[in-house]
Amino acid sequence: MRMEVITIPERSRCGFGFGSVIACKSVVDSLAIKYDDVKLTVCENEEDLCAVVVRNPDLVILAVKFVPLENGQKIWLSDFFEKNGIGYTGSKEVSMKYDVNKEDGKNQVRLCGVKTADFMTSVPGEYNELEGLPLAYPLFLKPSAGADSIGIDSKSLVNNFAQFNEKLESLYDMVPSPILVEQYLSGREFTVAMIEDGELLIVAAIEIVPPEVDGVRILGEKVKMEDTEFLKEVVDAKVLVQLSSLARKAFLALGARDFARIDIKMDGNGECYFMEANLTPGMNKGSSYFPEAFDINLGMNYEAVTNLIVKNALTRKLAIKRSSF
C-alpha cells in the first residue's frame, strides 16, 4: 500500500491544515507502523502535483487544502486529485471552501437549520458612529479567513464604536478582506472532533478553557501559540447531547467527508451555537485539539486516530475499483 502525505513548504503555509512539516512527519511515522510505503511529499506547484499523479499512489493524505501559486491563484488539492483519479482523504473542494471562508460556512449551516451567532462582515469606513451598526454590542471581530486564532486577542471583544473601529482597522491592515463581526457569546467554548468509520460517525467533544484575563476568557492567537489553554473532558450528559447533535448537523450541512473538527460556543444561557469548521484539522502530536479530543474522550492514541483518518478513504478507493470492473 503506497501512500503520500501532501503538504506545502513552511514559507507558503497559510495557517491551514495539519500543521508544520513536523506534524506531517508524525502522521507519516504513525501510518508507517501499519503500512509499508508511506512518504511525505512537499509540493510547491502544479509540476510537483503532476509528479505525484505519475507515481500513482494508492492514497494521498491531504495535509493542506490547497497549493498557493505565485500568481495568487490556488490549486485545490481535492479537486486536482479527483480529476486525476487519485484517491484522497478529506472533503471535496466545495466543502473545503466553507472552511476557508468562515462567512460562507456560517451561511451554509444556517440555511440547513444549524444555530450560529448573528453575524455580518465589514470593512473600514463602511459604518459610522452616528448611524451605528446592524448588530448590538458586545461584538467579536476576527478575520473571515484564517486559522490558529490569527488576529484574535483581547481587543477582538468590543463594546462600543471606537473599539469596533480600532479592531476592524487593525484586522483589515493584516488581512485586507471583509472582517467577520459576530454577536459575542459569553459562555463556554468547545470543539468536537469527528471521524467517519463506514456508516458510523465517531464523535469526541472537549471543552477549551483559555486563561481568564479581566474576567474574560478569549482563545486568541497568543494563547494558542503558548499552549496556555486547558482541555477538559465534557462530562455533563445534556451538554454532550447538545454538542454531538449540533456538530453532526453541521458536518452534514457542510458536506464534510472522512473527518472534521467543529467549533462550538455557548451563550450565557447554555445554548450551543456553531462557530466554524476545520475540515483539515491540526495533527500536532500531543497538542492539536483533534487528536487530543479522541485521546481525552475515548482513550484513542495518535496512531489509532491517523489510521481511522485513512480507513474511510481507502474503503472508498476500493469500492470505486470494484465498481469499475
Q: List CB contacts of 71: < 8 A, sequence separation 6 or more.
A: none
Nearest-CA neighbor of 152 among 181, 127, 178, 109?
181
Ordered by where they begin, the domains of the chain are 2-89 (3.40.50), 98-115+186-307 (3.30.470.20), 119-183 (3.30.1490)
Residues 6+ apart with CB under 8 A from 143: 102, 150, 151, 171, 174, 175, 177, 179, 180
Q: Where are the beta strands (DSSP E) in 20-80?
A: 37-42, 59-62, 66-68, 74-76
Take residue 157 and report the three cell numbers written for it.
Answer: 471583544
CB neighbourhood size of 162 (10 A) = 10
pLDDT the model gives residue 95: 97
Can you tell me the distance from the alpha carbon of 124 to that of 172, in angstroms, rounded to the nearest whole number?
Answer: 7
Q: Is the dihedral of CA 191, 182, 148, 107 positive or negative?
A: positive
CA 232 – CA 113 distance, rounded (Å): 28
pLDDT, position 76: 96
* pLDDT given at position 37: 96
Q: What distance in Å separates the CA atoms of residue 38 and residue 59, rounded to the nearest whole number?
A: 10
pLDDT for position 11:
62
Cβ-Cβ contacts under 8 Å for 59 (sequence gap 6 or more): 1, 2, 3, 4, 86, 87, 88, 89, 310, 313, 314, 317
Residue in 63, 69, 168 with CA at minimum distance from that of residue 122? 168
State the pLDDT at residue 12: 56
Cis peptide leading into residue 57 (ω within 30°): no
User: What is the per-residue pLDDT for 322?
Assistant: 44
Query: Residue 269, CB half-sphere, CA atoms under 13 Å: how many?
Result: 2
Tens digit of pLDDT at every position of the chain (325 positions)? 899 999 999 865 554 699 889 999 999 999 999 999 999 999 999 999 999 999 999 999 999 999 998 888 899 999 999 999 999 999 999 999 999 999 999 999 999 999 999 999 999 999 999 889 999 999 999 998 877 678 898 999 999 999 999 999 999 998 889 999 999 999 999 999 999 998 899 999 999 999 988 889 988 888 888 889 999 999 999 999 999 999 999 999 999 999 999 999 999 999 999 999 999 999 999 999 999 999 999 999 999 999 999 999 998 866 655 444 4
pLDDT of residue 48: 97
Interior CA angle at 184 toward 16 and 296, to 5°?
A: 55
Q: What pLDDT does residue 324 have?
A: 47
Residue of 250, 262, 291 whose CA lies nearest to 19: 291
Please give the angle made by the CA atoms of 263, 81 and 14, to the nearest 5 degrees.
45
pLDDT of residue 319: 60
Q: Which pLDDT belongs to residue 16?
A: 67
Q: How far apart are CA 57 and CA 27, in angstroms?
A: 17
CA nearest neighbour of 17 among 70, 57, 73, 76? 76
Entry pTM: 0.93
| pLDDT value, residue 220 | 86
Tell me the three cell numbers of residue 181.
463581526
